[in-house]
Every structure is written in structure tokens, then in C-alpha cells.
Chain A
Amino acid sequence: MTTTMAPSRQRSGAADRIRSAVVGLDWLLLLGVSAISLYSIFVVGRATENDAAGPRFYLDRQIIFVVVGAVLMVLATRLNLERLARWSWGLWGSLLGGLAVVFLVGTAIKGSNRWIDIGPFNLQPSEMGKVAIAIVLAGIAVDRLEDVGTARFTLFLTAVAAVPAVVVFLQPDLGTSLVYGAVLAAILFLVGVPWSHFAVAGSIMAIMVLAVLWVLPNAGVKVLQDYQVERLTAFIGAERDTSDAGYQLDQSKTAIGSGGAVGKGADGATQSSGNFIPEHHTDFIFAVSGEMFGFVGGALLILLYALVLWRGLRTMARASSQVDMLVAGAIVAMIGFQVFVNIGMTVGIMPITGIPLPLMSYGGSHTLTTLIAIGLLLGIHQRRSAIPG
């Protein structure tokens, strides 16, 4: 094998830079991401054109988010993860700091406190945290590679992820904390933690789920709010469940099912235009898409996600460093987990946890975060490509 070329920074000449950028670019990933983002703008626009906020309110904002996200994505490709990973603890501290600010500032907002109000937009640090925690965990893991396999390593990494995850869970935002968990699991898995650890973790989780949903409530201890339990368990319920969560789920399935093979088109999507689908531009946007474009549209979208994940996996396999590989793996897990849980929720095979559909759901922090993550993937791909051989 050969030695690596000097990193891009040492390259001189704009032409070289452009050349390496173009040659090393993962065009397929970019294509998939662009297709999904454009489709998202279309669906968000059509789903919200009858909303009280005005026909273009969400559309315009989503366009801004995608454009800003695209810029951040390009910047993210240039991010040196190796170097950034060295600042793992600083990054971790910033994440906790951001979450702490939410707790301080967000108290005024009703319901779930996830956002920091900045002018016309709200910043959701827990979203950014999805990528941050990936880098933090990758950095710490690589720092302690010699410990891999020990219980100490596994527990330590778990603790590092658990602190922000618990904070997010308390916001309360169960969905996002679960994503942190998925990122942690992916990194532990990829870094080579023994199967036995996963078996133990799996058992503990199963016991915890049982405890939270069944044992403790029966013993009179309420860990989750009633509505949370309802949402989590609605998908197990009867075909025509009628709790609020059951109603949401029923409407979502009705929308998707009524879309049929080819959909009703954007104009005929009555479940969406009639506001029957809850959260039609955020959590349940797949239901809108399913109603508009049917199985064909839904399958195409899933295939686009498959494309993105495949490119991510491919990038992992060719990553130029452990950190790159772990971060790429965390991103793949993050996107894959959210896609499955979100779509699974809309079609009634997963609990309703409030996880957005990456690149599709309306939302600033969420769109920016996902595009930054994609940027990181592109960057990892590029760095590997920059090295001949």
C-alpha cells in the first residue's frame, strides 16, 4: 500500500481543489439527498397551503432551511473530523450547555421545552446534538480504542451519551433521546464491543421498557405521562383505536392506504388538505406523501433513503480513519433509525415517538442537522477519494 497524500489543506491552486472536490464527490449521495430535499419542499408546500399561517409560510421557511442547510453541508464537507474529535469534551460540554439554555429560556413555552427562541426562528439544540454526540462518541471511542471490549469502555461511552440523552428525555423529547441511543449503539457496535455487552444492554432495556410501561404504573409510579404511554402503545392496539394517539394513527393509515398504488395527486389528497392527518408537515409528512403519490411514491422515497444509506455504508467502509468511519456509521444509524421509526410510525408498525423523517419533515434545526450530517458524509467520502489507490 501507499502512503497518504497530504491533506487538502496543503494543496495549492484552486483548480486542484475543484478537481479533487468534483472527483471525490459522492454524486449518488448528493443526488439522493437533493431529490429528497426537493420533494420535501414540494410536499411541505402542498400540505400546508391551507394552514392558518398562510399558504407559503412553511414552504418559504423550508426553502430557506434547505438553502442554508446546503451551504452548511458544503462547509461540513471541509470539516476535519480528526481535529474536531480531539475536542470531544468541549463539544460535549457545548451540547449540554445548549440543552441547559433550553431549560432556562424554554420554561416560558408550553408543553415540551425543546427550543431556543432566536428571532423568527427557533433553534433546537437537541437536534444539533444528534450530530454532535456522534462526533463526541467517535472521538472518545477512538481515544480509548485499547479499552474496547471491557465493560468499563462500554459503560463509559454509554454514560457520555446518557447524560445529554436523559436531559433531552426530560424536555420531554423521547424521540430525540432515542436517536442518541441509536447513535451510541451504532458506535459501540462498529468499534467492536462484544456481543455479550449488547445482550446485556438489550436485556436491561427490555426490563426498563417493561418497568416503565407496565410494572411501575401498576405499582403506582408514573414515569411517563399518560399521553406518552398512549402514543407508545397505540400501534399495538386494535385496528380502530380511538384514543388521541389511536386517532392520529388511524388517520395516518387512512391517508396512506387511501393513496393506493399511485396516489390521489396533490390536489386530491383530502386527508391532508382537510387536516385529518395530524402534524402533516412534520412527523406525519410521510402520510401526506403516501396519500398524494401512493405506493409508487412511497416506495421511490424509501428507495432514495436506501440509496443514501447505501452510500453512507459504502463511505464507512472506505473511510480514511477510525473517527471518520465511526462518525459515518453514527450518521447512517441516525438517519436509518429515524427513517424506520418515522415511517414505521405512520404505517402503524412503530410507536408514535415524535421522530422527524430526515430531509422530509419540516423543521429548521432538523433540516440543518441532517444536511450537516450529509455534509460530513460527503467530506469523509472526499477525504478517502483524495487519496489515490
Chain B
Amino acid sequence: MSTTFPPRRGPGRGSNRPAGGWAPALTPRTAVRIAILGGIAMGLLGVLLIRLWFLQVINAEQYAERADGNRLRTVITQPPRGNILTRDGVPLVTNTTGENLVARPRELTGERRRQVLAKLAPKIGQTLPALMKKVEAGDNQPLQSVVLARNIDPGLYRYLAERRRDFPGISLEETFLRSYPQGQLAAHVLGSTGPITAEQIKDLRRRGYAGDETIGVDGVEQQYESVLRGTPGRSVVEVDAAGEPQGREYISSRSAVPGRDVRLSIDSKTQVALEQALAEAARVTGAVGAAGVALDPKTGEVLALGSYPTFSPQTFVTRKDKAVSALFNDPDRPLNDRAIAGVYPAGSTFKAITAAAALRSGIITPTTPLESPSSIVLYKQRFQNFEENSHGVIDLPYALRVSSDTYFYQVADDLYKAQSEKNDVYPLQAEARRFGLGDETGIDLPGEVPANVPDPPWKKRAYADPQYTDFQRSWLAGDTIQLGVGQGFLQVTPLQMAVAYGAIANGGTLYTPTVGMEVRDPNGRVVQELSKGRPTRPLGVSPADLEAIKQGLYDAANAELGTSTSVFGALPDEVKVAGKTGTAEPGDGGEDHSWFVGYAPFDDPSIVVSIVIERGGTGANAAAPAVCSTMAANLDFDPDLCGDPVASR
């Protein structure tokens, strides 16, 4: 075939080679094959052109978007949260820095995501599915980084910092952490900070949160979140493949505005003394819990608020799973703020309110003499005095001084007789509500409970279940009589009692208690008053009646036979205390709760303190000394002047 056509070129140099080597270069067969080769080559280049058209002309926009997603990164810089200080300027919460471990979902896709996260999971003690879920949650906002672990250990930090290349799409971000210079002090007031939960996220998104921030959980941190938070900075930067910023310029930038400081009305000395007093009382009596509140009766400002057992807010910064779950699962419930959410029968501290109710309804006057025998029989039921004491014929101040139960049983019985279910008239309950019981005080702390002032409609509701009989649902005389001495179904919080006694102390005005005092900008300028302008309400008790109650409370702490004279009797004149012990029967047959609520100085009260020691025994026993030492710190007298308690009601 190759010979069909003459050679195009004759042999040249090298003709000594075999003739085959000089076969014509271009035979038709060769020509066909060259043409095929050329056809293939041009065809393939054509394929490339078509593919290029597809990528660059038809789908250009999609890829351009993807390229922008690659190079543009919105960097949200979290501002430092505001500090929290006491009224005397002691910092309770400040900031320090730590490192968060974050992932960029866009750089972690498909199999690569699984691989990287699987490597990471054991290092940060999380499961792969949990990490996958976190990163997937960030998929709809691929420019935002997703926090995988907060405040990682220095060891892990070094490990990851050295192996950046092994963990593509994972990086470390500096973050502000809460710091507690005073340790556990005022932990329940402060609350803590933590990640946004799944339930909160929808609501918070509307308020401009991205979802991965740390927000205030409980306490002042939660209450004043909007003030403390500040405004996050938002900068769009151009980055390279390693996530390193390109150049110095931001595409757009808005810097973070630090949160504002909140100054509390808490007085550091009083707070320290209160917490120590609670812990000491708990230690002495073996109590599982205790709580107390100190207020300025003239303003409602909280001077101290404590709950025992307490916790270290630092636990929520370190976030060791074990320590956190231990706090949540502790049977003694240290996270529970007993001062605002702990409910107890008021015991005899309620007698001041029974007295006010009786005076208001005219059942007694301050001087009405009533027999105070060791026991009385009402409705065929015997009601006893404490330790079966008998006081003879006494008036109201004396009844308060010695905490006569039989006196108040009789008064309460009269109040029962004055009540009318038909007309919905309940004088004793109404008085209790006037003193703020049975309802939230409105303090600027989350988690407050209303507790309960029981009345016939309440009892019907509470015993609505078919397992109860109509008799059990009905309100009995004994219910009011028990209520008259602060027992039975009555439930109050230590804060409510402090507010109620504060109203007695200040001459009849019920204040809304406040913890926050003012908001300050980072330069220390006051930008908002928090404690001013909160609602107040008059008690409506006549001055003469109030005077009699106050006299009774003064005598109870100072006069002979006063229930807490042994504790407060020796105090100097300028810090004389008025107050009432309470021994509340929990209703389960266990040890009584020990109460004391009182204020000082008697002439011009500047502090009212309410303390309950769970199962602490009689009021004078555990609570009164704790109140005394708290007042000592606030009023600056020697706590050794507080006397040893003698058991009394």
C-alpha cells in the first residue's frame, strides 16, 4: 500500500539506512492517521471550550458567589461584658480572656468535616455526632464561625496552635471570660453566663444575637443582659485559604462597643457578713439551707442577699462537665436562690401582720387586754403556747414581745369570724397581701416566686383533685387561726418578709426591692439610675397602730422576756434593733425553720434584715444571731455585742 504513491521526498543523507527508513513520510494511510490525530486533538480542545463556556458563562454567578464566600469573612468581635460592682465599688464580676475553639462550616464540608471533627472530638471531650450537629447548625450562615468549645485548656490550645494544618477549618478565637475577684461572694445575685439554649435562640435572634454568644444566665447577668452585653463589632475581611486576613483593610467595619457596668446596691461588707452568718448558722445547726436579705427600708435597695449553700460562678466559666452537672444534681440545690425562690411558713414573724389586720379591723386596739394562757381551746381543739408559757393578761406590744401564740390565736379567730366567703372578704389574707406577701416583690432578679397567702378559694383550687373530700377542700377556722401565727398553708420568701418589715420600719411604705443601682459607661459616668422610680405602695396602717407594732418589735428584741433580747439586748442605743423571731413548722414533722426579721437602728432604720435557717430550730436560736452579725457589719458595731441566743419563739 505504501508503494501506491511515489515518495514525496527522495532519500537524503543517511541513505545507507535500510530502505524502510526512507519510506515516504506521507502515505495516504499516514495522512489518514494524521488527520484522525488532528481531529481528536481539535475535538478535545473543543470539549474544553464547551466545558469552559458552561463554567464561566452559564454558571458564572454561582461560582462568583462561592468565591466571595471563600474570601469574605464576617468577623464578629464580641465586646467585653460590663463589670458588676458593689455600691462601695468592689468589683464582683470583671473580665479576663480565654480561647474558644471554633469551626468554619464552609471549609468543613462532607467527608472532610467528618474526618476533621473525628480527630478533634476526643481532644475536646465531645462526641462526633454532637460536633457534627453544631457545625451543621452553622451551615446556613457559612461565614460565621461556630463555637465548638469555649475556654479551652492551655494544653489543648498549644496542641492545636501547633497543628493548625492538621485541622483545616478549625481555629482558635480569643474570647472574654467572666472573672470573679471576690470568689463566691453574691453568687446568687450575680448569676452566671452561658451559651444560648435552643429554646432561647429564636427570641434572641430577633434581638440581634447570632446564636453563639454567651449570655447572662440568672441573676444580674440575666436581668441586665441588655446593659452588660455591649454591641458586637462586625467587620468583613478578606482572607486567604488558611483564614489569614489579606491586607490591613476591612471591607467594612463596625467596632465593638463594650458593655456598660452595673453598680449594685449591694454593700460588700454587709454581703460578706450575711453570707458568713448564713454559713455559720448552717454549720452550727446542721442546716441544709439558709437564706437572707438585707434591705435599706427607706429605698428598698438590697444591701445583701445570700443563699446557702452557695456555688462558685467560676464553675460556669471553666465548664468542666462534671463540676457543672454536680452543681445541677446536688440534692442541696446550691443553685437555688432561697432568698427569692425559697418558700417557708413565716412562723411568728407573721404576727406583726396579724396584729396590723386586727388593728385595722378594730378587733383590738393596741391596749386591748387579752388573756395569754398556756393553752386555749377553740372549736374543740387545744392550741398551745410555746413551751406552755402563760403570760397573764397582756396587750398587743407585750404579745409581740413574748410572741404569745394564744393571744394571736384569739385574734385570728376573731379575724376568721370577720371573714366572709360569700363576699370574698378575708381581712387577715388581705392584710398579708398589703404587706406584699403572696405576690412577687418585683425585685430586679429573675426567678422570684410569689409564694402563697392561703385563702378559701385557693384551698378549693389546691384540693380540687377528686382524691380529696369536700371537707378537705373547705376552709376551716383552724386554717385562719394557724395563719394568724404564720403557720398552716402560708408560704413566704425571705425577701418578702424583708420588704414587709421594711414597710413597718419606714413608717408604712412598701418598696419594690432593687439590686441594680445604676448603669455606668466604661468611663464611670452614670448613664441610668436603676433603683429610682420603682413602684411603692402605702400600707395604710394608722400611725398609732404602726407605733404599737413597732413598740412590740422593739420590746421583743430589747425588753425583759423579749424573744430575742438575749441576742440584741446588749446593743448600744444608737443601733437598737427591733424585730421578730419566727419558728416555722415545716408541716412535715421535721425540725422547725428558724426565722428572724428585724430592722435597725430603731429610731431611724437604715437596714432591715430577714433571715431563715432551714431546720435551724427556734427563731432566736439560729436566725437572730445571724441577723445581728449582719447588722453589725452594716452599722459598724462590734458583732461580739450580739448575745448568745436563748430558745424562744
Report whether B21 and A242 are in contact in the complex, using a CB–CB cutoff of 8 Å: no
The answer for the CA separation of A320 and B21 in the assembled complex, in Å, is: 11
Report whether A309 and B57 are in contact in the complex, using a CB–CB cutoff of 8 Å: no
| A276–chain B nearest beta-carbon distance, Å | 5
Binds B, one of A100-108, A297-305, A362-370: A297-305
Report whether B67 and A254 are in contact in the complex, using a CB–CB cutoff of 8 Å: yes
Give chain A interface residues in 285-311, CB to chain B under 8 Å: 290-291, 294-295, 298-299, 302, 305-306, 309-310
CB 8 Å contact bits of A301-344 with B (1 = contact, 0 = none): 01001100110010011111111110001001100100110011
| B615–chain A nearest beta-carbon distance, Å | 61
B633 at the interface (CB under 8 A from A): no
Q: A260-B57, A276-B71, A332-B41 are in contact. Are A323 and B21 (CB under 8 A)?
A: yes
Residues of A within 8 A of B8 (CB): 1
Closest to B7 in A: A1
CB 8 Å contact bits of A224-266 with B (1 = contact, 0 = none): 0000000000000000111110110001011111111100000
Give which listed residue, B6, B45, B70, contacts A309 with CB less than 8 A: B45
A3 at the interface (CB under 8 A from B): yes
Give which listed residue, A189, A256, A316, contacts B52 with CB less than 8 A: A256
Give which listed residue, A86, A243, A258, contacts B67 with CB less than 8 A: A258
Report whether A257 and B63 are in contact in the complex, using a CB–CB cutoff of 8 Å: yes
Report whether B52 and A299 are in contact in the complex, using a CB–CB cutoff of 8 Å: yes
A4 at the interface (CB under 8 A from B): yes
| B453–chain A nearest beta-carbon distance, Å | 64
Q: A257-B55, A274-B246 are in contact. Are A313 and B26 (CB under 8 A)?
A: no
Residues of B within 8 A of A257 (CB): 55-56, 59-60, 62-64, 66-67
A122 at the interface (CB under 8 A from B): no
The answer for the CA separation of A4 and B31 in the assembled complex, in Å, is: 21
Residues of A within 8 A of B68 (CB): 258
Majority secondary structure of chain A interface residues (helix, strand, loop or mixed): helix
CB 8 Å contact bits of A79-113 with B (1 = contact, 0 = none): 00011001000000000000000000000000000
Give which listed residue, B9, B23, B33, contacts A320 with CB less than 8 A: B9
Report whether B11 and A4 are in contact in the complex, using a CB–CB cutoff of 8 Å: yes
Q: A274-B238, A347-B52, A387-B9 are in contact. Are A253 and B63 (CB under 8 A)?
A: yes
Report whether A302 and B49 are in contact in the complex, using a CB–CB cutoff of 8 Å: yes
Q: A143-B21, A256-B52, A316-B34 are in contact. Are A261 and B60 (CB under 8 A)?
A: yes
CB 8 Å contact bits of A167-210 with B (1 = contact, 0 = none): 00000000000000000001001101000000000000000000
Report whether A189 and B33 are in contact in the complex, using a CB–CB cutoff of 8 Å: yes
Closest to A252 in B: B55
Give chain B interface residues in 34-80, CB to chain A under 8 Å: 34, 36-38, 40-42, 44-45, 47-49, 51-53, 55-57, 59-60, 62-64, 66-68, 70-71
Report whether A336 and B66 are in contact in the complex, using a CB–CB cutoff of 8 Å: no
The answer for the CA separation of A317 and B8 in the assembled complex, in Å, is: 11
A223 at the interface (CB under 8 A from B): no
Interface bin, chain A: 35 or more
Q: Which one of B9, B17, B48, B57 has the highest number of Cβ atoms from chain A below 10 Å of its Cβ? A: B48
Residues of A within 8 A of B154 (CB): none
Residues of B within 8 A of A340 (CB): 44-45, 47-48
The answer for the CA separation of A312 and B393 in the assembled complex, in Å, is: 130
Q: Which one of A186, A306, A322 has the highest number of Cβ atoms from chain B below 10 Å of its Cβ? A: A322
Report whether B12 and A305 are in contact in the complex, using a CB–CB cutoff of 8 Å: no
Report whether B66 and A258 are in contact in the complex, using a CB–CB cutoff of 8 Å: yes
Residues of B within 8 A of A384 (CB): 9
Report whether B60 and A3 are in contact in the complex, using a CB–CB cutoff of 8 Å: no
Binds A, one of B108-116, B122-130, B604-612: B108-116
Q: Which one of A4, A143, A274 has the highest number of Cβ atoms from chain B below 10 Å of its Cβ? A: A274
Report whether B67 and A271 are in contact in the complex, using a CB–CB cutoff of 8 Å: yes
A145 at the interface (CB under 8 A from B): yes
B20 at the interface (CB under 8 A from A): yes
| A339–chain B nearest beta-carbon distance, Å | 7
Q: Which one of B10, B57, B63, B240 has the highest number of Cβ atoms from chain A below 10 Å of its Cβ? A: B63
| A157–chain B nearest beta-carbon distance, Å | 15
Q: A242-B110, A309-B42, A320-B25 are in contact. Are A254 and B70 (CB under 8 A)?
A: yes
The answer for the CA separation of A50 and B23 in the assembled complex, in Å, is: 55
The answer for the CA separation of A79 and B109 in the assembled complex, in Å, is: 53
Give which listed residue, A192, A261, A348, A387, contacts B29 with CB less than 8 A: A192
Give chain B interface residues in 75-115, CB to chain A under 8 Å: 109-113
Residues of A within 8 A of B110 (CB): 240-243, 246
The answer for the CA separation of A306 and B18 in the assembled complex, in Å, is: 36
Report whether A1 and B10 are in contact in the complex, using a CB–CB cutoff of 8 Å: yes
Residues of A within 8 A of B238 (CB): 270, 274
The answer for the CA separation of A306 and B71 in the assembled complex, in Å, is: 34
Residues of B within 8 A of A151 (CB): none
Residues of B within 8 A of A274 (CB): 70-71, 238-241, 246
Give which listed residue, A2, A190, A321, A387, contacts B30 with CB less than 8 A: A190
Majority secondary structure of chain B interface residues (helix, strand, loop or mixed): helix
B320 at the interface (CB under 8 A from A): no
| B461–chain A nearest beta-carbon distance, Å | 60
Residues of B within 8 A of A2 (CB): 10
| B13–chain A nearest beta-carbon distance, Å | 5
Residues of A within 8 A of B23 (CB): 145, 322
The answer for the CA separation of A146 and B2 in the assembled complex, in Å, is: 11
B377 at the interface (CB under 8 A from A): no
The answer for the CA separation of A302 and B8 in the assembled complex, in Å, is: 33
Report whether B56 and A259 are in contact in the complex, using a CB–CB cutoff of 8 Å: yes
| A319–chain B nearest beta-carbon distance, Å | 5
Closest to A263 in B: B56
Give chain A interface residues in 133-152, CB to chain B under 8 Å: 142-146
Closest to A230 in B: B111
A353 at the interface (CB under 8 A from B): no
Residues of A within 8 A of B7 (CB): 1
A349 at the interface (CB under 8 A from B): yes
Report whether B241 and A336 are in contact in the complex, using a CB–CB cutoff of 8 Å: no
Closest to B63 in A: A257
CB 8 Å contact bits of A343-356 with B (1 = contact, 0 = none): 11001110000000
The answer for the CA separation of A328 and B476 in the assembled complex, in Å, is: 116
Residues of A within 8 A of B21 (CB): 142-143, 145, 321-323
The answer for the CA separation of A384 and B10 in the assembled complex, in Å, is: 12
Give chain B interface residues in 137-170, CB to chain A under 8 Å: none
Give which listed residue, B18, B22, B31, B51, contacts A321 with CB less than 8 A: B22
Q: A243-B111, A349-B51 are in contact. Are A290 and B70 (CB under 8 A)?
A: no
Q: A306-B42, A321-B22, A340-B48 are in contact. Are A261 and B57 (CB under 8 A)?
A: yes
The answer for the CA separation of A324 and B7 in the assembled complex, in Å, is: 15
Report whether B13 and A317 are in contact in the complex, using a CB–CB cutoff of 8 Å: no
Report whether A270 and B66 are in contact in the complex, using a CB–CB cutoff of 8 Å: no
Give which listed residue, B45, B56, B241, contacts A294 with CB less than 8 A: B56
A54 at the interface (CB under 8 A from B): no
Q: A1-B9, A270-B70 are in contact. Are A306 and B45 (CB under 8 A)?
A: yes
The answer for the CA separation of A1 and B7 in the assembled complex, in Å, is: 8
Residues of B within 8 A of A324 (CB): 25
Residues of A within 8 A of B40 (CB): 336
Report whether B38 and A347 are in contact in the complex, using a CB–CB cutoff of 8 Å: no
Report whether A258 and B33 are in contact in the complex, using a CB–CB cutoff of 8 Å: no
| B507–chain A nearest beta-carbon distance, Å | 73
| A266–chain B nearest beta-carbon distance, Å | 15
Residues of A within 8 A of B33 (CB): 189-190, 192
The answer for the CA separation of A143 and B19 in the assembled complex, in Å, is: 10
Give which listed residue, A251, A302, A316, contacts B48 with CB less than 8 A: A302
New contact pairs (8) apart from A246-B110, A254-B66, CB-CB < 8 Å: A2-B10, A82-B13, A144-B20, A251-B241, A290-B52, A320-B9, A336-B44, A347-B48
The 3 A-B residue pairs whose C-beta atoms are closest, nearest first, are: A257-B63, A242-B110, A145-B20
Chosen A-B contacts, 27 in total, with CB atoms closer than 8 Å, are A4-B11, A7-B12, A86-B17, A142-B20, A190-B34, A242-B109, A243-B110, A256-B52, A257-B56, A258-B67, A261-B56, A271-B67, A274-B71, A274-B240, A276-B70, A290-B55, A295-B57, A305-B45, A306-B41, A309-B38, A309-B41, A313-B38, A319-B26, A332-B37, A336-B40, A336-B41, A344-B48
